[in-house]
A and B are shown apart, each in its own frame.
Chain A
Amino acid sequence: MHIVDGALANPVVIGGAVAAAGGIALGLKSLDLDRIPTAGVLSASFFVASLIHVPIGPSSVHLILNGLAGLLLGWAAFPALFVGLLLQAVFFGFGGLTVLGINTVNIALPAALTWMIFGRLIARGSPFQGAIWGGVGGAFSIAATTAFVAFSLALSGDEFLPAAKLVLFAHIPVMVIEAVLTGFAVLLARKVKPELFPKVAST
């Protein structure tokens, strides 16, 4: 999912950086000073959640959970996921520096979109209904992320088209896993701490 330095065309990289800066600014504005600790702890927990490896057939995938991040954080998912990507690049060597912007957009914009589309639906109805919508949201955000990654590759040149298609197909199982996991996570959160979603969705 991480795009590395040097792969993308310059306009794509610059456009991504500008869009990311806009998203981060918007996210920071929605974070009043009382909510920064919450966002920081959530950002850290998504960082840790991405360490969880879920077995799938002979292999395993690690979670991204950007849909869930969006559902809990709204626009604040932009700065939160940016911080996660920055730490990954600096301390673990994943991704790259100049592509930090486009990587942030590819992961955080679907998160924000998921929140806008599914945020209200998840808080409504029985926990089970909420969980179904959570699952749909989780699948949607991964689908959007892969589409964005494929799109940024395709924009950079036709020679990346096969790679872009490969990215799309390789992520179908990831999509299913994330949908199921997000669904159950929402189900649990709705049962254990029902005020979590309405509270966040209304802010």
Chain B
Amino acid sequence: MAHALEPHAKTLAEAGGEASFGLINDYDPRMRIVMACVFAIITVALSTIPALTVALAVSIGLLLMSRLPIRRSLKRMAMMDSFIIFMLVLLPFSMPGDAMFTVFGFPASWQGLWKAIEIALTANAVILTLMVLVGTLEPVTLGHALHKLRCPEGLVHLLMFTIRYIEVLREEYLRLRGAMKIRGFRPGTNWHTYRSFGYLVGMMLVRAIERSERILDAMKCRGFSGRLVLLQSFNLTRRDVMFAAMLSAICLGLLLLDLL
């Protein structure tokens, strides 16, 4: 996770606080969530390299439309690639097929190479679209939109609480780490480190539970009856419908390209 949070990176609670995200930002959040899902399903269904390349191009187009910081977004995407790179490198060697070349007597097949490229294209296209269409939403708006899309109420409440407390608990974590540092703790590969980290996690959890008891008391004090009232309302404008129709047409085009 922390690969994604560079020193100056923002966490969820503040992520949406700054400038608007260009064209994408004006669209209806519900429509963005639905279209991200549609695009993801269509892209996963594609199986030819040209169609997948176009899909990735579409998602990069969306990124350009969104005015997200391009380098940082692509860097985050590359971070995900670093996780799957081993699997992709292994694929040409593990998939039977026409030999491309051999390394230490292991033949690498063309089929495996194409399969690896296919997976890389799919994964990147989907995650980039998701980050552009849904990741630019303010986290709380995401909760409201999911609620309006008829997600179970309990799940939405859980999501809202999680979003609310990630930042609080991160500050608590940093405070505990600061306290450890000031006492001369330096992590290394040794028993002392593991024990200290274990206590750190345990302490965080104990404090989290106690905090949640206080929160519940405070909420009850203010008349919490087990329901959060989600007031934010959205309206679907013609621009939203146009955007959705355009993206659907692109998806249809991708499917046709795939069949050719």
Contact assessment for B90 and A166 in the assembled complex, using a CB-CB cutoff below 8 Å = yes
B205 touches A72 (CB 8 A): yes
Q: Which residues of B contact A125 (CB under 8 A)?
A: none
Which B residues lie within 8 Å of A4 (CB)? 80, 83-84, 119, 122-123, 127
Q: Which of A69-114 contact B (CB under 8 A)?
A: 72, 79-80, 82-84, 86-98
In the bound complex, what is the Cα–Cα distance between A47 and B197 (angstroms)? Answer: 16
Tell whether, in the assembled complex, residue A189 and residue B202 are in contact, meaning their CB atoms are under 8 Å apart: yes
Counting chain A CB atoms within 10 Å of each CB, the highest count among B95, B118, B205 belongs to B205
The interface residues of chain A lying within 8 Å CB-to-CB of B165 are 40-41, 44-45
Given A31-B154, A181-B194, A37:B94 Cβ within 8 A: no
Indicate which residue in B80, B142, B166, B203 contacts A48 across the interface (CB closer than 8 Å). B166
Tell me the smallest distance from the CB of B135 to a CB of chain A, in Å.
5
In the complex, what distance in Å separates the CA atom of A196 from the CA atom of B210? 10
Q: Is the CB of B204 within 8 A of A83?
A: no
Q: Closest B-chain residue to A4, C-beta based?
A: B123
Asked whether B54 is an interface residue with its Cβ less than 8 Å from the other chain, the reply is: no
A19, CB-defined interface residue at 8 Å? no
Give, as a whole number of angstroms, the nearest-CB distance from A158 to chain B: 8
Q: Quick check: is A11 within 8 A (CB to CB) of the other chain?
A: no
Residues of B within 8 A of A126 (CB): none
Q: Give the residues from 155 to 169 in chain B that come closer than 8 angstroms, CB to CB, to chain A.
A: 155, 157-166, 168-169
**Does B215 lie within 8 Å of A41, measured CB to CB?**
yes
The contact of B4 among A28, A39, A94, by CB within 8 Å, is A94
| A97: B residues at CB distance < 8 A | 36-37, 40, 126-127, 130
B1 touches A5 (CB 8 A): no
By a CB distance below 8 angstroms, the chain B residues around A121 are none
List B contacts of A68 (CB < 8 A).
201, 205
A124 close to B (CB within 8 Å): no
B120 to chain A, nearest CB (A): 8
Size class of A's contact patch? 35 or more
Q: Is B127 touching A79 in the complex (CB atoms < 8 A)?
A: no
Are B187's CB and A7's CB within 8 A?
Answer: no
Q: Is the interface of A mostly helix, strand, loop or mixed?
A: helix
Cβ contact within 8 Å between B157 and A36: yes
Q: Across the interface, name the chain B residue whose C-beta is closest to A36.
A: B157
B258 → chain A, closest Cβ, in Å?
13
- Quick one: closest A residue to B170, CB to CB? A48
Q: Given the complex of chains A and B, what is the CA–CA distance between A158 and B188 in angstroms?
A: 39
Q: Which of B40, B152, B169 has the most CB of A within 10 A?
A: B169
Is the Cβ of B188 less than 8 Å from the Cβ of A55? Answer: yes
Establish whether residues B139 and A91, one from each chain, have CB atoms under 8 Å apart when the complex forms: yes
* Chain A residues in 8 Å Cβ range of B91: 159-160, 163
Given A42-B212, A87-B166, A184-B202; 12 other pairs, CB 8 A cutoff: A5-B40, A7-B119, A24-B155, A42-B209, A52-B200, A94-B4, A96-B130, A159-B112, A162-B90, A162-B93, A163-B90, A188-B206
Q: Which residues of B contact A (CB under 8 A)?
A: 1-2, 4-5, 12, 15, 36-37, 40-41, 43-45, 76-77, 79-80, 83-84, 86-87, 90-91, 93-96, 112, 115, 118-119, 121-123, 126-128, 130-131, 134-135, 139, 142, 152, 154-155, 157-166, 168-170, 173, 187-189, 193-195, 197-206, 208-213, 215-216, 219, 225-227
Could you list which residues of chain A lie within 8 angstroms of chain B, going by C-beta atoms?
2, 4-7, 10, 13, 24-25, 28, 31-34, 36-45, 47-57, 62-63, 65, 68, 72, 79-80, 82-84, 86-98, 153, 158-163, 166, 177, 180-189, 192-193, 196
